[in-house]
A and B are shown apart, each in its own frame.
Chain A
Amino acid sequence: MSDMPLPFAVVPRGANTNTAPVAPLTDADRKPLTKKDVSADHPTWCPGCGDFSVLALYFKLIEKRRMHHEKITTVAGIGCSSRFPYFVQAHGAHFIHGRALPFASGVALSRPDLHVFVFGGDGDAFSIGGNHFTHTARKNVKLTYVVMDNNVYGLTKNQTSPTSPVGFKSKTDVWGAKDRPINPIKQAIFAGATFVARTTSTNPNHLLAMMEQAMDHDGFGFIQVLSECVEFYPGAFDNSTPRKGGVFAEVPKEHDVTDEYAAYRLGEELSPGKFGVFYKVQRPTKNANEAAIIADYQSKVAGLPPWQILKKSFDRMK
């Protein structure tokens, strides 16, 4: 048997720098977290940006659902809306452009005790991150994905986005956009998302209700939030905003949310479109499927410490 010395010994557990242990909190000690407890940096968004409302309702959700502070997990990619984690006083990750979903999947799959919220914009979700959107949806990874859709690239200052309507004038389409925009609702249903909802930053109660339902859904929950960019696409969603003379039309009560084709048809209209839950079904999550594989394999090696499981493998290689 070889006793080869290793130059770098394993760092012992709890060896984080600059930390000192504290006593655990009991549930009785906990109070609902207020906006004051969970707000961090002042948002970098322009005054009047729709994203403020999404942030405010995320705080509301945290308070209402009495989330434990340390369990709040906020992940984002790159974009105006993706600055989200800096504004939330909780564990957060600001990852690279378009890859928030695979990053969040890594957290969700390895940490079933956490519910991960992912925030981002239409470019992050449907352009650079389009492939990840499809696969995270089809694998049904348990997490909530809130896409703040403003139909334009805001952080980079006014370029055509994958959801910009035909005719929209931007710096990259001065003559008006020519390409057919993505329909996020149809895209999500087609990809295999198991919870698909549409809401708007101008209707707080509806937005909160959608976030709550997505959070309670056991699977990949997708919410498209219309969130106006007052700087580069003002008035984009006026036709669904009653105080601007638009019509806020909810998904009809009689709509069967488990009917994929009905949901697809209902999602056909891009603007103003309907609001509410289009599609909601139960399908085994990636998390549950992996847990089942693990349970099955672990039952075969029940009670053995890791080194003995490995020893069994090595014994077959002699």
Chain B
Amino acid sequence: MSDAAVAAPSGGQPPVSSIAEAVIRIAGNSQDGIQAIGGFLARLAGRSEQEVMTFMTIPSTISGGPSIFQVRIGSGEVLSAGDDADMLLAFYDHSYTSHINSLKKGGIVLYDSDHLKPEAIPAENLAKYRHVGVPISSLTVEAIGGTGRDKGKNVFALGLLAKMFDLNVPKLHRLLQERFTGKDPKIAETAVNAFNYGYNYNLATAPELFRFKPGENVGQSQVVMSGNEALAYGLIAAGVRFGAGYPITPWSDIMELLRRELPKYGGQFQQCEDEIASVSMAIGASWGGRVAVTGSSGPGISLKTEAIGWAVMAEMPLVVVDVQRGGPSTGMPTNVEQSDLNIAVYGGHGDSPRVVIAPATVEDCFYTAIEAVNIARKFSTPVIILTDQGIASRIEAFPEPNLEKVVQDISPDFTAVTDHKPYDLAAPGGVTRHIAPGTRVASGKYPVVTGLEHDELGHPTGSPKLHVAMTAKRRNKLKALAAEIPTPEIYGPSEGKVLLVSWGSAKGPVQEAVKQARAAGLAVSGLHIKHISPLPNGLEKAFEGFSKVFVVELNDEGLVGIGQLGALLRARYPNTRFEGVNKSDGLTWKVREILDRIRPATA
């Protein structure tokens, strides 16, 4: 909350500062509805033409446990969820003790004095942070009655925040009403009452109040959603009408959304008996003529690998979503990690090249889904979308896509053909496409799709020559794809001391690290790689301009001594010296963590 311009205090009220951005962390238990407050703040920011990014943790157990929601709202570009909070809203003792260290020095902590007694606050904290105690629990009971119902507490606290940050009350009223409409109208009324009670609470004891500068995205219609929602809607926009999956965190909400949305478009999503059935069913539907989707998280992807290998061999288009979480095995289901790159790129037996792309932001999830579908169809190949728990669950505002233009028609074509070779070796670039059952072949020679090594019509062969030729075909068509992938642009100058390479959700924190480093006079640039397999051409030129190239990823350096993308880059570009910046604490990058790790190299 830099850039503060203090307005003159009036009538005993605290002074009001004008701010460009704020990081607010809300800490409580998972059943307190703190995700809902965060969601309201994010949506409000979207409607107020501001940028927003959220970060949340939820326990993997169902009934409660500590949980946080962090929201960063800015009038300018927001690249990460923010290292430190400007304000902490703490509902309990444990929320206070666990998260007080995430607050900036001089930051404000707003706490529920029904749970945390002022006398229990350590003296050194009183000196370091500004404390505002409000009896949130008892005032919520006073406002809406009942017996200390946890339910209204979040909305009361939202009212307090609205006052604190001078948020747009009519817009928040509308959001509350939208959220609770459809249920008992009394519930919406109660919510608005709880909000108003919090908003009208006398915050005279607060040291400072704030007002956001107007957003920069003026006139832009923004949508606000999570990465998983954006990915699911992207698949619908791409024309996908069939999917199959099995419940697993954090993939499940993509499946739930597709299950309830696809019927509107004449499509369907099947919940299967297991992960293998899901991928098999999706492949079957793809063969039916229209590329289908399956997805999962780590353990489920392991189970799907054999069938994905079949899709590589049979050259069947397919989209596989992997929402990465902490691994290996059951690992850390509600934490973030980028440790499935190896299984995405190499998972499965035999030489089975496939396409892997990784979205970097919520908006990118939407467009990546469309790109994945188009690559799968164009090159008749499985495409793995490697997203992660961090993007999956966070909420961002982004410009509303031009849907009339973006939404595609990929309905199958069963027009009869004269003749067809599903694996024609003479096809340019090795790129062939299938005809679906129902398509008449006038020659009477019909194709078989298969996992056995095959001839051009799909019939089995043990010929060494054909295995060589078909292996080359499967490799070459992805090389043809690589030639079409745009070479990523360097973020910052193309020459300098340090280049930070990122993939997936590390993009934002890395770019913010580059910005901060450059502001401090350091020669640091960034390079974000979205297409993991195949890699785009021309990267070697980008690496040449820097003395050190660091690959920043949320995974372990392993036995090779570098992360998973790092190892891939070392193999592909043996003349560049790559070093890894890795961590595996299950949390997204803090900008400071990246800067600390590269500091020796920038000197």
Check B292 against A110 for contact (C-beta < 8 Å).
yes
**What residue of chain A has the Cβ atom nearest to residue B407's Cβ?**
A307
Cα A75 to Cα B421 in complex, Å, equals 19
Q: A18 to chain B: which residues have CB within 8 Å? A: 419-421, 424, 426-427, 432
Check A1 against B284 for contact (C-beta < 8 Å).
no
**Pick from A17, A113, A311, A314: contact of B431, CB under 8 Å:** A17
**What residue of chain B has the Cβ atom nearest to residue A292's Cβ?**
B263
Task: Say if the beta carbon of A23 comes within 8 Å of chain B.
Answer: yes
Check B400 against A2 for contact (C-beta < 8 Å).
yes
> Which listed segment binds B: A90-98, A203-211, A261-269, A272-280?
A90-98
Check B377 against A92 for contact (C-beta < 8 Å).
no
**Pick from B274, B307, B370, B415: contact of A21, CB under 8 Å:** B415
Min CB distance, A304 to chain B, in Å? 9
The digit string for B452-490, where 1 denotes a CB below 8 A from any CB of A, is: 100000011000000000000000000000001110000
**What residue of chain A has the Cβ atom nearest to residue B241's Cβ?**
A110
**What residue of chain A has the Cβ atom nearest to residue B431's Cβ?**
A17
Q: B292 to chain A: which residues have CB within 8 Å? A: 106, 110
Cα A85 to Cα B434 in complex, Å, equals 16
Task: Say if the beta carbon of B287 comes within 8 Å of chain A.
Answer: yes
Cα A298 to Cα B241 in complex, Å, equals 13
Cα A91 to Cα B420 in complex, Å, equals 11
- Known A92-B449, A96-B307, A96-B310; judge A106-B263 contact (CB<8 A): no
**Pick from B242, B265, B278: contact of A110, CB under 8 Å:** B242
Q: A2 to chain B: which residues have CB within 8 Å? A: 363, 398-402
Min CB distance, A80 to chain B, in Å? 13
The digit string for B416-440, where 1 denotes a CB below 8 A from any CB of A, is: 1111110010111001111111111
* Chain B: interface residue total (CB-CB under 8 A): 110
Check A298 against B266 for contact (C-beta < 8 Å).
yes
Task: Say if the beta carbon of B168 comes within 8 Å of chain A.
Answer: no
Task: Say if the beta carbon of A257 comes within 8 Å of chain B.
Answer: no
- Known A10-B377, A103-B281, A106-B244; judge A318-B224 contact (CB<8 A): yes
Q: B441 to chain A: which residues have CB within 8 Å? A: 69-70
> Which listed segment binds B: A127-135, A163-171, A238-246, A248-256?
A127-135
Task: Say if the beta carbon of A306 comes within 8 Å of chain B.
Answer: yes
Min CB distance, B452 to chain A, in Å? 7
Check A94 against B281 for contact (C-beta < 8 Å).
no
Check B448 against A85 for contact (C-beta < 8 Å).
yes
Task: Say if the beta carbon of B569 comes within 8 Å of chain A.
Answer: no
**Pick from B233, B270, B277, B399: contact of A310, CB under 8 Å:** B233
**What residue of chain B has the Cβ atom nearest to residue A295's Cβ?**
B263
Cα A181 to Cα B442 in complex, Å, equals 47
Cα A306 to Cα B445 in complex, Å, equals 37
Min CB distance, B244 to chain A, in Å? 7
The digit string for A17-57, where 1 denotes a CB below 8 A from any CB of B, is: 11111111100000000000100110000000000000000
Task: Say if the beta carbon of B565 comes within 8 Å of chain A.
Answer: no
**Pick from A4, A85, A102, A305: contact of B277, CB under 8 Å:** A102
Task: Say if the beta carbon of A231 comes within 8 Å of chain B.
Answer: no
Task: Say if the beta carbon of B282 comes within 8 Å of chain A.
Answer: yes
Task: Say if the beta carbon of A290 comes within 8 Å of chain B.
Answer: yes
Cα A15 to Cα B432 in complex, Å, equals 10
Q: A134 to chain B: which residues have CB within 8 Å? A: 273
The digit string for A284-295, where 1 denotes a CB below 8 A from any CB of B, is: 000000100110
| A-B pair number, CB within 8 angstroms | 282
Check A135 against B273 for contact (C-beta < 8 Å).
yes
Q: B237 to chain A: which residues have CB within 8 Å? A: 306-307, 310
Task: Say if the beta carbon of A303 comes within 8 Å of chain B.
Answer: no
Check A106 against B280 for contact (C-beta < 8 Å).
yes
Check B451 against A7 for contact (C-beta < 8 Å).
no
Task: Say if the beta carbon of B408 comes within 8 Å of chain A.
Answer: yes
CB-contacts of A132-173 with B (<8 A): 132, 134-135
Q: A300 to chain B: which residues have CB within 8 Å? A: 264
Check A86 against B459 for contact (C-beta < 8 Å).
yes
Q: A293 to chain B: which residues have CB within 8 Å? A: 263, 268
Check B268 against A294 for contact (C-beta < 8 Å).
yes
Check A11 against B416 for contact (C-beta < 8 Å).
no
Check A99 against B446 for contact (C-beta < 8 Å).
no
Check A310 against B451 for contact (C-beta < 8 Å).
no
- Known A14-B413, A106-B282, A110-B285; judge A131-B371 contact (CB<8 A): no
Q: B272 to chain A: which residues have CB within 8 Å? A: 102, 135
**Pick from B371, B413, B415, B424: contact of A17, CB under 8 Å:** B424
Check A86 against B432 for contact (C-beta < 8 Å).
no
Cα A307 to Cα B239 in complex, Å, equals 10
- Known A92-B446, A93-B448, A110-B292; judge A13-B411 contact (CB<8 A): yes
**What residue of chain B has the Cβ atom nearest to residue A105's Cβ?**
B281
Cα A298 to Cα B370 in complex, Å, equals 23
Cα A3 to Cα B441 in complex, Å, equals 40
- Known A7-B484, A294-B268, A311-B403; judge A94-B448 contact (CB<8 A): yes
Cα A305 to Cα B47 in complex, Å, equals 26
Task: Say if the beta carbon of B225 comes within 8 Å of chain A.
Answer: yes
Q: B290 to chain A: which residues have CB within 8 Å? A: 110
Task: Say if the beta carbon of A62 comes within 8 Å of chain B.
Answer: no
CB-contacts of A209-230 with B (<8 A): none
- Known A21-B415, A70-B441; judge A317-B432 contact (CB<8 A): no
Q: A71 to chain B: which residues have CB within 8 Å? A: 437-438
Q: B407 to chain A: which residues have CB within 8 Å? A: 305-307, 310
Check A99 against B371 for contact (C-beta < 8 Å).
no
Task: Say if the beta carbon of B276 comes within 8 Å of chain A.
Answer: yes
Check A95 against B451 for contact (C-beta < 8 Å).
yes
Cα A296 to Cα B264 in complex, Å, equals 8
Task: Say if the beta carbon of A182 comes within 8 Å of chain B.
Answer: no
Check B378 against A109 for contact (C-beta < 8 Å).
no
Q: B415 to chain A: which residues have CB within 8 Å? A: 14, 21
Task: Say if the beta carbon of B164 comes within 8 Å of chain A.
Answer: no
Q: B47 to chain A: which residues have CB within 8 Å? A: 318
**What residue of chain A has the Cβ atom nearest to residue B531's Cβ?**
A7
Residues of A within 8 A of B (CB): 1-4, 6-11, 13-25, 37, 40-41, 68-71, 73, 75, 85-86, 89-96, 99, 102-107, 109-111, 113-114, 131-132, 134-135, 290, 293-294, 296-298, 300-301, 305-311, 313-314, 316-318
- Rank and list the top 10 A-B pairs by shortest CB-CB distance, nearest first: A106-B284, A297-B263, A91-B437, A307-B407, A19-B417, A2-B399, A106-B281, A102-B280, A102-B277, A106-B285
5 contacts across the A-B interface (CB closer than 8 A): A3-B402, A13-B413, A69-B441, A90-B446, A96-B451
